[in-house]
Chains A and B, each alone.
Chain A
């Protein structure tokens, strides 16, 4: 069973891989999308995204490339790799199982105690 920090990491890994699997994205864009879609539940400190992105790239799940914009700014885009796709599916399944287990515990046999 994973510990708290690992779940958080798996969760953020899942979300980030999922976003990038939709289409190539760069860091700032990922942060914005996360905040928007989660109704601002996920408002992480933006800098902490980058270690995650770099680790995913080091593991071969993402591949980065540079794109020069019209205003001469250079953005580092990330795209998902085949092994990244595989990992995404795995993470999705793990997460489904996890949330299912939690639900089962919460909605399962309850000991009801009444105090009168």
Chain B
């Protein structure tokens, strides 16, 4: 009986977020009024009837409650909050790879550069500057130094991946993470591998006019020639 009555009231309340709260509040009221009537020696059913009677016309109460709890403002607020949050999430998600690439370009490059430079200086007596550029798929590789020792025939070169500073989104290059470098016809040793650089030592390299090497991304493989003509090791 109580529940039916309260449902008659709630029927008029359109805001779904407040119905449960109102139900609890009204139910509590009815229960306390029931207790009052039972203390006046009415039986449970009579007490409930009288309590409901004292509450009043469910339609009027329901309509007035609806006036107060009009839902459209709540919906508007919630909708705009949901929209705002999803906008923030989608923007962050789409920016994330861009930001990571950007950060990589800045920081790893600098560290790599310093690191291999140190290795060269520590392990070899002399360094010659040069510039040879190799194109692999969408990336550019540069060999810009040849290092050598005075007391043996080894030479070394560093192959560096050079990428545009701001990578285009969705324009994946093959070689984002790793590549294999092989020397085809000479004894190459990979001395150091970092994010974008490889330090290769070539045994008896001083004798060579050319060093053939290949770059293999796992998806593509291409061969190149490092031109050593005219280099004087003094």
Interface flags for B12-34 (1: CB within 8 Å of A; 0: not) read: 00000000011011101101110
Given contacts A45-B55, A46-B55, A50-B65, 14 further A-B contacts (CB under 8 A): A26-B28, A27-B29, A45-B56, A46-B29, A46-B54, A47-B9, A47-B26, A48-B60, A50-B29, A51-B61, A51-B68, A73-B31, A76-B21, A76-B25
The residue on B at minimum CB distance from A73 is B28
Q: Which residues of chain B are within 8 angstroms of A55 by Cβ–Cβ distance? A: 67-68
| A45 partner, pick from B9, B28, B54, B67, beta carbons under 8 A | B54
Interface flags for B49-71 (1: CB within 8 Å of A; 0: not) read: 00000111110110011011100
Q: Which residues of chain B are within 8 angstroms of A22 by Cβ–Cβ distance? A: none
Interface centre among A54, A73, A74 (most CB of B within 10 A): A54
**A28→B61 contact, CB < 8 A:** no
Of residues 66 through 84 on chain B, the ones whose CB sits less than 8 Å from some CB of chain A are: 67-69
**B54→A51 contact, CB < 8 A:** no
Can you list 18 A-B pairs, Cβ within 8 angstroms, ordered by A?
A28-B28, A45-B60, A45-B61, A46-B56, A47-B55, A47-B56, A47-B61, A48-B56, A48-B60, A50-B61, A50-B65, A51-B64, A54-B68, A54-B69, A55-B68, A58-B69, A76-B21, A76-B28
Interface flags for A26-54 (1: CB within 8 Å of B; 0: not) read: 11100000000000000001111011001
**B68→A58 contact, CB < 8 A:** yes
Please tell me if A63 contacts chain B, counting CB pairs below 8 Å.
Answer: no
Of residues 81 through 111 on chain B, the ones whose CB sits less than 8 Å from some CB of chain A are: none
Count of residues in B whose CB is under 8 Å from the partner chain? 23
A51 to B12, CA, bound (A): 13
Of residues 47 through 83 on chain A, the ones whose CB sits less than 8 Å from some CB of chain B are: 47-48, 50-51, 54-55, 58, 73-76
Q: Which residues of chain B are within 8 angstroms of A74 by Cβ–Cβ distance? A: 24, 28
A76 to B27, CA, bound (A): 11
Q: Which residues of chain B are within 8 angstroms of A46 by Cβ–Cβ distance? A: 29, 33, 54-56
The residue on A at minimum CB distance from B64 is A51
| A82 nearest CB across to chain B (Å) | 21
A47 to B33, CA, bound (A): 12
Interface centre among B33, B61, B68, B69 (most CB of A within 10 A): B68
A46 to B25, CA, bound (A): 12
A1 to B28, CA, bound (A): 38
3 shortest interchain CB distances as A-B pairs: A45-B56, A51-B64, A47-B61
| B72 nearest CB across to chain A (Å) | 14
**A51→B67 contact, CB < 8 A:** yes
Interface centre among A26, A28, A75 (most CB of B within 10 A): A28
A64 to B114, CA, bound (A): 65
| B8 nearest CB across to chain A (Å) | 11
Q: Which residues of chain A are within 8 angstroms of B26 by Cβ–Cβ distance? A: 47, 50
Q: Which residues of chain B are within 8 angstroms of A76 by Cβ–Cβ distance? A: 21, 24-25, 28
Q: Which residues of chain A are within 8 angstroms of B64 by Cβ–Cβ distance? A: 48, 51
A51 to B9, CA, bound (A): 12
